[in-house]
């Protein structure tokens, strides 16, 4: 009986839940101002708007952290489409930055569309577009 309980406790999350967990971890890393945590989910072959690559995204993230005393990231509901080893996720994102006192100094809403690639149970962001 104990082995059944242990086996159940070690089950891997289904692929969609693992993807949602990855996105949540990246969101939390942004709140914690951890560029390496954000980039942990970004594939080496990442492609973003206007030719943005993984290295450029890293610079952009670090610049935002340097410019703002606090960074807020709120995501709207995730619209997830699964395609075996790939996935597409669409959502809105509200990004805020400021001193962290009463209200943020800056804020903007983005419509985001992303593509992800699965490697085992790990998901990596390969494409992101936002407006």
Q: Residue 72, SS3? A: strand
C-alpha–C-alpha distance, residues 73 and 129, integer Å? 17
- φ, ψ of residue 14 to 5 degrees: the values are -65, 160
Return the structure tokens found at 97.
């930055």
Per-residue pLDDT of the chain (131 residues; tens, 9 = 90+): 444 444 555 566 799 999 999 999 999 999 899 999 999 999 999 999 999 999 999 999 999 888 877 778 899 999 999 998 999 999 999 888 765 554 456 778 999 999 999 998 899 999 999 99
**HSE (side-chain half, CA atoms, 13 Å) at 29:** 18
Model pLDDT, residue 107: 75
Token reading at 50: 């206007």
Q: What's the token pair of residue 62?
A: 């670090």
What spatial distance separates the first Cα and last Cα of the chain, rounded to whole Å? 53
Q: Which helix or strand (DSSP H or E) is residue 36 part of?
A: helix 35-39
Whether domain 14-130 has CATH 3.10.450.50: the reply is: yes
- Enumerate the domain spans of the chain: 14-130
């Amino acid at each position: 009986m104990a082995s059944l309980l242990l086996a159940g406790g070690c089950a891997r999350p289904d692929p969609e839940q693992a993807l949602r967990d990855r996105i949540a971890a990246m969101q939390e890393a942004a709140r914690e101002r951890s560029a390496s945590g954000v980039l942990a989910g970004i594939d080496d072959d990442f492609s973003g708007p206007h030719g943005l690559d993984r290295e450029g995204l890293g610079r952009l993230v670090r610049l935002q952290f340097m410019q703002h005393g606090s960074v807020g990231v709120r995501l709207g509901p995730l619209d997830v489409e699964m395609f075996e080893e790939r996935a597409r996720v669409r959502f809105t994102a509200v990004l805020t930055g400021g001193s962290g006192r009463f209200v943020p100094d800056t804020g903007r809403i983005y419509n985001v569309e992303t593509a992800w690639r699965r490697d085992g149970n790990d998901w990596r962001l390969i494409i992101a577009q936002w407006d």
